[in-house]
Chains A and B, each alone.
Chain A
Amino acid sequence: MLQSCVSDNKISHPPLSDELEVSIIGPGYGEAVLVHLGDNNWIIIDSCKRPDESVPEPLRYLDQIGVDPRCVVAVLITHWDDDHCKGMSQVIQICAHAQIVMSSAFVQKDFLAFSALYGSPMTRNVRAGVKEIGETMNGLGAAERPITSAYPGRRLFTADDLTTSHGLPIEVWTLSPSDEEYQNFLAWVAEQMPQPDETRRVAVKRIRNDLSVVVHMMIGDDVLLFGGDLEEEGKPGTGWSAIMALPGRPLSKAGMFKVSHHGSANGHHAGIPTNLLTAAPVAVVAPFKSGKVSLPTPQDVTRICGYAGEAYTTATLQGRATSKHDPMVDKTIREVTRRFSTIKADPGMIRLRKKAGSSEDWRVDKFGTAGPLAKIY
């Protein structure tokens, strides 16, 4: 159970009907976002699950605040990495009325064949994102639920689609993946198809997050930007460069930014603070901790805190999981491995709320190990 760090803010209190909410859950490995647009209209972006929990974090949170999952109007899958889609098949099944948004690369027969081939059970324990996305696609196919394709400059909701009592116009846009990212991904999928007589292996995620969907939301004057795991490689047709150059994209600058790719330098583009964000936005990072990779790095923290008015992290990167092994096992681990670390799932959440249409600042609730980004280490 997540515990509030602020004594007078209980996690179980749902937002008022005229309150906006952005909740970013990041157990340290994985992330999910919930947005309340008003009048119990919710959007979920990605899903994650803790190792000891059967219920995905977004559904667990909705249950904690007493919201019926049928109030979710859209579920977005930014990409298929394990840390962003764990539990997604459950989320989609339970959120029965939600519009499902993802890159159309996932419905291409080549990807579905890849998913079918690598999704066949080979081992009880080793899991890859391909299994989850495979189950998700199978569930969507069985239920014959339509899929909304995410592509640059796609407007998902307009003012007429969602009417709320606060009366503010709502627009939701996807800004990626670019055509080049889409083609890169499918080319990679084709390379993964094995030849006959090749020894089986488990699917390993694509190194670059080609398909990551960036979401831009406007609720009246409040603008939110969710960077997913989009990375920048300095090419005009991919990453943030492609978004900067996108004709017809919404030009309003975001006052709230879910920092892309766990705050890494790869996820940053110099144009983000100047072109896409307001002068002092609220930035939230969902950190990533796996093996030798810990994101954001101290340099990343300095950079993000430099452009953000307020910067938060959904979990700390302090400490390591306590060893539960026999001392002789720990001794052997030290002798045999160059490096050994346990991915500690620190449950944490940053919740931002404010009255829709007001000029007030976001109220920030911190749960679990969430806190100021400057104190992440």
Chain B
Amino acid sequence: MLLDVLDRPSTLRENLPPTAPLGEPTFFRPTLEHLSEFPATETGWCRGTSEADGIRILDGIAPLQHEKFYLHSLSSRLEVLQSWEGAVVAIDQAQDTFTARLYDLTNASSDVSEAEFEVRDVSSNDIDLLRIGGVFRWMIGYRRHSYGQRERVSAIVFRRLPAWNQEDIQKAVAEGERLAAKLRIR
């Protein structure tokens, strides 16, 4: 499956709806702002980094120093090889890991899986959503850039589910009272 990456300035991200899409995920390529924060190394400022915008770059090739000037105008596509929907079931603060139950979105008939991830693999944007019961999507695939580079990527994107409001809670309480009144216990 090939997904077009939205080629838009990172500032647009702030205008995204508060909820994550239910359908196909939207991807952003690494932004200049984040990359520029990475420390420079002898061989290039991007080498050795493992995360950009929530996407862990595994086989990244050290870019040229001047690549950051091209990034804004280059487009890329993500070919998803495998994706899961996950729910966080435990967080180990001592180990800085979390455990999640994973439901295969690529092959619905697959059995449920469970995995332990490192907290550092969660984007800083999503870290507040990492809690027990939090829902995310994990995708593995290739990002193909129009200039020919191919990267293997692993992305954990937490769903920004809408907040409960007073009305939701009151409705649930009313439903609980309604059903409790109907149920007969002996």
Interface residues of A (CB under 8 A from B): 29, 51-52, 104, 107-117, 120, 122-126, 128, 137-138, 140-142, 144-149, 193-204, 290-292, 321, 324-326, 328-329, 332-333, 335-345
Q: How far is the CA of A29 from the CA of B107 in the complex (A)?
A: 20
Judging by beta carbons under 8 Å apart, are A112 and B180 in contact? yes
Q: Which residue of B lies closest to A137 (CB)?
A: B179
Contacts of B134 in A (CB 8 A): 201
| B140 contacts chain A at the CB level, 8 A cutoff | yes
Judging by beta carbons under 8 Å apart, are A338 and B176 in contact? no
| B105 contacts chain A at the CB level, 8 A cutoff | yes
Judging by beta carbons under 8 Å apart, are A203 and B133 in contact? yes
Q: B153 CB to closest chain A CB, in angstroms?
A: 9
Q: Could you show 11 A-B contacts with beta carbons less than 8 Å apart? A: A29-B112, A104-B185, A109-B177, A114-B176, A116-B179, A117-B169, A120-B168, A122-B161, A125-B85, A204-B133, A340-B113
Q: Which residue of A lies closest to B121 (CB)?
A: A336
Given contacts A146-B184, A200-B163, A204-B89, 14 further A-B contacts (CB under 8 A): A113-B173, A113-B175, A116-B175, A122-B135, A126-B85, A146-B186, A147-B185, A198-B164, A201-B161, A204-B87, A328-B140, A328-B152, A337-B116, A338-B115
Q: How far is the CA of A51 from the CA of B101 in the complex (A)?
A: 14
Contacts of A332 in B (CB 8 A): 58, 140, 152, 154
| B132 contacts chain A at the CB level, 8 A cutoff | yes
| B149 contacts chain A at the CB level, 8 A cutoff | no
Judging by beta carbons under 8 Å apart, are A200 and B161 in contact? yes
Q: How far is the CA of A287 from the CA of B179 in the complex (A)?
A: 35
Q: B57 CB to closest chain A CB, in angstroms?
A: 11
| B111 contacts chain A at the CB level, 8 A cutoff | yes
Judging by beta carbons under 8 Å apart, are B97 and A338 in contact? yes
Q: How far is the CA of A123 from the CA of B179 in the complex (A)?
A: 24
Contacts of B131 in A (CB 8 A): 201
Contacts of A344 in B (CB 8 A): 111
Judging by beta carbons under 8 Å apart, are B113 and A115 in contact? no
Contacts A109-B177, A202-B133, A204-B133 given; indicate if A123 touches B111 (C-beta within 8 A).
no
Set A51, A116, A140, A338: member contacting B112, Cβ < 8 A = A51
Q: How far is the CA of A113 from the CA of B101 in the complex (A)?
A: 25
Q: A363 CB to closest chain B CB, in angstroms?
A: 32
